[in-house]
Amino acid sequence: MKIKKKNSSSKEVDFTWDDLEALACGQIGLDINYLYTLTPRQFSNIQVGWNQKTERQTKTSWEQVRTIYDAVIRPHLKSKNKSIREILPFPWDQEDILDNGQNEEGFEDMKGRWDKIDQMKREKL
């Protein structure tokens, strides 16, 4: 069985059960038996949490690099008044400043899909 999934460029790509098992067991670290006891919603929530954790760990690592870079480069700068974020900016620095609402749209879209699934389950009962 193949699952259709949209990638970041809004094209549908095939996502097989093998891909699902590779993600769940290989990357996230779930036990195969546990994976098959999960509902799609539970798995989705686990995946969202895992993605957030991974992103937070990546940002933390890069922030450490930036701090070390600052300690190394600061003595050699002519203008020592610049902040480290000006010297070595990261994409998420702007995300902290600007909230463009994309997260809210994604949340509302996901919430709407799960509400429909919940409604279908209630109708079956």
Split the chain (125 residues) into runs of 10 and give each run's mean pLDDT. Answer: 53 81 94 94 94 95 93 87 87 68 69 83 77
Give the per-residue pLDDT at 33: 95
Give the per-residue pLDDT at 10: 58
Give the per-residue pLDDT at 22: 93
**12 and 66 fall within a common domain:** no
Q: Which domain holds residue 32?
A: 1-37
Give the per-residue pLDDT at 62: 94
**52 and 16 fall within a common domain:** no
Residues 6+ apart with CB under 8 A from 50: 27, 28
Spatial separation of the C-alpha atoms in residues 83 and 100, rounded to whole Å: 24
Number of domain units in the chain: 2
